[in-house]
Structure 1
Amino acid sequence: MSAASYVSTRGQAPAASLSQAIAAGLAPDGGLYVPAALPSLHREEFAQGTLADTAATLLQPFFEGDALAPDLHAICAEALDFPVPLRPLGDSGTQLMELFHGPTAAFKDVGARFLAACLKRLRADADTPLTILVATSGDTGAAVAAAFHQVPRLRVAVLYPDGRVSPRQAHQLGCFGDNVRALRVAGSFDDCQHMVKAALGDTQLQAHVPMSSANSISLGRLLPQMSYYAHHALAWQRAHGHPLSFVVPTGNLGNALAALLVRAMGLPIDRVHLACNANDVIVEFLAGADYAPRTSVATLANAMDVGAPSNMERLRWLMPDDAALRATLSASRIDDARIRQTISLVAQRYGRQVCPHTACAIAAWQDLSAAGDTRDWALAATAHPAKFERIVGQFSGQPVPVPASLDALLARPAHAEPMRAETAVLARWLRDWH
Structure 2
Amino acid sequence: MKFVSTRGSAPAVDIDTALASGLAPDGGLYVPEIIPAAPAIDPACGLAATAATLLAPYFEASRIAAALPSICDDAFDLPAPLHRLRDDTFVLELFHGPTAAFKDFGARFLARALGALRRPGDAETTILVATSGDTGAAVAAAFHRRPGFRVVVLYPDGRVSPRQAHGLGCWGDNVRALRVAGTFDDCQRLVKQALTDTGLREQVALGSANSISLGRLLPQAAYYAQSSLEFERERGEPLNFVIPTGNLGNATACWLARRMGLPIGDIVLACNANDVLPRYFGGADYTPAETRATLANAMDVGAPSNFERLRHWYPDDASLRASMRAVSVDDAAILASIERSDRDLAYVPCPHTATALDVLQRLRDAGDTRNWAVVATAHAAKFETIVEPRIGRTVEPPPALADCLARPAHSEPLPVDYDALRRVLLA
In the superposition, the TM-score normalised over structure 2's length comes to: 0.99
- The answer to whether the 8 A contact 1:141-1:173 is kept is yes
Residue 231 (structure 2) pairs with residue 236 (structure 1)? yes
Q: Which residue of 1 aligns with 2:141?
A: 146
Q: Find the partner of 1:184 among 171, 174, 179.
A: 179
1:126–1:153 contact (8 Å) kept in structure 2 = no
Provide, for residues 338-367 of structure 1, a one-character-per-residue CA deviation record: whole Å limited to 9, x for no partner: 000000111111222110000011000111
How far, CA to CA, are the matches of 1:62 and 1:36 in structure 2?
Answer: 10
Match of 2:277 among 268, 273, 282: 282
Shift of 1:326: 1.3
Q: Which amino acid letter does the alignment assign opposite residue 237 of structure 2? A: H
Tell me, yes or no, if structure 1 residue 167 matches structure 2 residue 162.
yes
Q: Is 1:60 the equivalent of 2:56?
A: yes
Alpha-carbon distance, 1:46 to partner = 3.3
In 2: Cα distance, 1:379 partner to 1:397 partner: 24
Amino acid corresponding to residue 34 of structure 1 in structure 2: V
Task: Give the whole-Å Cα distance in 2 for the aligned partners of 1:378 and 1:11.
Answer: 36
User: Deviation at 1:45?
Assistant: 4.1
SS of aligned partner of 2:322: helix
Task: Please point out which of 2, 7, 18 is paired with 1:5.
Answer: 2
Q: Is the 8 A contact 2:56 2:68 kept in 1?
A: yes
Q: What is the rounded CA distance, in whole Å, between the counterparts of 2:104 and 2:114 in structure 1?
A: 15
The equivalent residue for 1:428 is 423
Q: How much has 1:93 moved relative to structure 2?
A: 2.6
1:224 to 209, 219, 233: 219
SS state at 1:182 partner? strand
Q: Given the alignment, which residue of 23, 29, 33 partners 1:36?
A: 33
Distance 1:386 1:94 in 2: 23
Instruction: Work out the CA distance in 2 between the residues paired with 1:84 and 1:148.
Output: 21
Deviations along 1:344-402, one digit per CA (max 9) or x if unpaired, are: 11111122211000001100011111111122111100000000011010112211111
Counterpart of 1:339 in structure 2 is: 334
Distance 1:16 1:126 in 2: 23
Cα-to-partner distance string for 1:287-307 (whole Å, 9 max, x where unaligned): 000000011100000000000
Shift of 1:318: 2.0
**Deviations along 1:309-352, whole A, 9 cap, x unmatched?**
00011011122321111122101101000000000111111222
Moved more, 105-114 or 231-240: 231-240
Helix, strand or coil at the partner of 2:66: helix
Partner of 2:14: 17
Partner deviation per Cα, 1:141-198 (whole Å, 9 max, x = no partner): 0000000000001010000000000000000100000000000000000000000000
Q: C-alpha distance in 1, partners of 2:41/2:414?
A: 49
Name the SS of the counterpart of 1:232 in structure 2: helix
Q: Measure the CA separation in 1 of the matches of 2:121 and 2:109.
A: 19
Separation (CA, whole Å) in 1 of partners of 2:203 and 2:38: 42
Q: Distance in 2 between matches of 1:78 and 1:186?
A: 36
Pick one of 73, 78, 96 that aligns with 1:77: 73
Question: Are the aligned partners of 1:98 and 1:382 in contact in 2 as well (CA < 8 Å)?
Answer: yes
Equivalents in 1 of 2:392, 2:43: separation in Å? 43
The offset of 1:48, in angstroms, is 2.1
Shift of 1:19: 0.7
1:328 & 1:67 partners in 2: Cα distance? 35
Q: Number of paired residues?
A: 427
**How far apart are the structure 1 equivalents of 2:235 and 2:79?**
22
Runs of 5+ consecutive residues of structure 1 not aligned to the other structure: none
- Name which of structure 1's ranges 326-335 and 186-195 shifts more when overlaid on structure 2: 326-335
Q: How does 1:190-269 map to 2 (within 5 A)?
A: 190-269=185-264
Tell me the secondary structure at the aligned position of residue 172 of structure 2.
coil
Are the counterparts in 2 of residues 355 and 384 from structure 1 also a CA contact under 8 Å? Answer: yes
Q: Which moved more, 1:292-301 or 1:321-330?
A: 321-330
Do the aligned partners of 1:344 and 1:397 also contact (CA within 8 Å) in 2?
Answer: no
Once residues 267 and 87 of structure 1 are traced to their aligned partners in structure 2, the CA distance between those partners, rounded to angstroms, is 20
SS of 1:328's equivalent in the other structure is coil
Q: Which amino acid aligns with 1:215?
A: N
Percent of aligned positions with the same letter in both sequences? 59
Normalised TM-score (structure 1): 0.97
> How much has 1:47 moved relative to structure 2?
5.1
**Which blocks of at least 5 consecutive residues in structure 2 are unaligned?**
none
Contact 1:10 1:29 in 2 (8 A): yes
Q: Alpha carbon RMSD of aligned pairs, Å?
A: 1.0
- Contact 1:55/1:224 (CA < 8 Å) preserved in 2? yes
Identify the residue that residue 120 of structure 2 maps to in structure 1: 125
Q: Which string of whole-angstrom CA distances, capped at 9 and with x for unpartnered residues, describes residues 38-80 of structure 1? A: 10125x4435211001101111101112111111101100100
Q: Which residue of 1 aligns with 2:344?
A: 349
Following superposition, the deviation at residue 133 of structure 1 comes to 0.3
Distance 2:170 2:375 in 1: 27
What is the one-letter code of the residue matched to 2:307? M
